[in-house]
Amino acid sequence: MAYNNNKHFLGINFGFENEKFYVEHKSPTRPVGNLREEFDLRAVELYNSRPKLMLGLSAGLDSQAVMHSFFTQGIKLECAFLYHPGYNDFEYNNLQILEKKYGFKANIIDIDPIQCKDEIMSLHDEIGLPPYQIMHRKFLSMLPADADIVQGIHGPDLAFHNNKWYCLETANSFEVARLRSFQTLNRTGEVIGWERTGEIHLSILTDDIIKSFIYSYPYISKNGLIYEDGSKIPNIDFWDLYIKPFVYGKYWKDELEYFPKYMGPENIEYIMKGPKHAYMSTLVAIPYDQLVSHLKSGTGEVARFYQRSTPT
């Protein structure tokens, strides 16, 4: 199956050059507000420029905050929810709470993960991406092909290495692997990375809560915090566990529903125990200070960052 290499995702540019993965970041040309201000501006901008807009709503905190920015400004947009009956009922119940609160009905895309297992695993073998990202490809294929689909926020992956902070990007992150799977679909609508604008990215990276996390990391790292199964909490979970609840609490206070964090496919064995993301194999490690400095430059220039070997 060929990738649609001409397909661009609004807000994020990535690719391979000489077999090395790269990502690009464009610096803003206007003053940047706080995260909530930028969310609201992003919602209006997309509404004014996209006649057929739809939000992929997981009912988690990230996509809920995106939806909130539309609905509280009087912008009603369609929402679509990926439902695995018997597997992500927790998220489905949360969705029903949001539907009642905001007065809307989501488009429920009902996919039985066991029934489509052979299809998912066959595509995994063909394009080499993890099963859950291919499941989202199936979800997208069942939405209108001409709709522009908003993907909820994915916070930065931060890592501390040799006394230096980095923002990590990789072709095999949950976000990018999902977009790579979307590239194999023949759609006319775009997929929109919500936070992948210089303005929102900068507002996140320079927020006081991010800075507080960076300053207090020695306390966090030395306290041996682990999951219930005894495994170490990885860098990619720092946003979900340590940062985002306080960021959202700071700007949205009690306006949001703070549902506990779950992934959704916990009970789907071939996804949870199947092929994993080879996260480190295509790592782009961008020095935090360098990225912030670029985004603050105000030039509107695009900086390309390439795959490298550190941090490990």
Q: What is the pLDDT along the chain (312 residues), one digit of tens a residue?
A: 544 444 445 556 899 999 899 999 999 999 999 999 999 999 999 999 998 999 999 999 999 999 999 999 999 899 999 999 999 999 999 999 999 999 999 999 999 999 999 999 999 999 999 999 999 999 999 999 999 999 888 889 999 999 999 999 999 888 899 999 998 999 999 999 888 899 999 999 999 999 999 999 888 887 777 777 777 777 778 888 889 999 999 999 999 999 987 666 667 888 888 777 788 889 999 999 999 999 999 999 999 999 975 544
Q: Are 34 and 202 in contact (CB under 8 A)?
A: no
The identity of residue 219, as a single letter, is Y
Q: What is the pLDDT of residues 226-273, one digit of tens each?
A: 777 777 777 778 888 889 999 999 999 999 999 987 666 667 888 888
In order of their start, the domains of the chain are 36-150+175-271 (3.40.50)
Q: Are 196 and 13 in contact (CB under 8 A)?
A: no
- Helix then strand then coil, % of the chain, to nearest 5: 40, 20, 40
DSSP code of 243? I
DSSP code of 174? H
Residue 74's region, left for phi above 0, alpha for psi from -120 to 50, else beta, is left
Q: Are 252 and 284 in contact (CB under 8 A)?
A: no
- pTM exceeding 0.95: no
Contacts of 52 (CB under 8 A, 6+ apart): 144, 146, 147, 148, 189
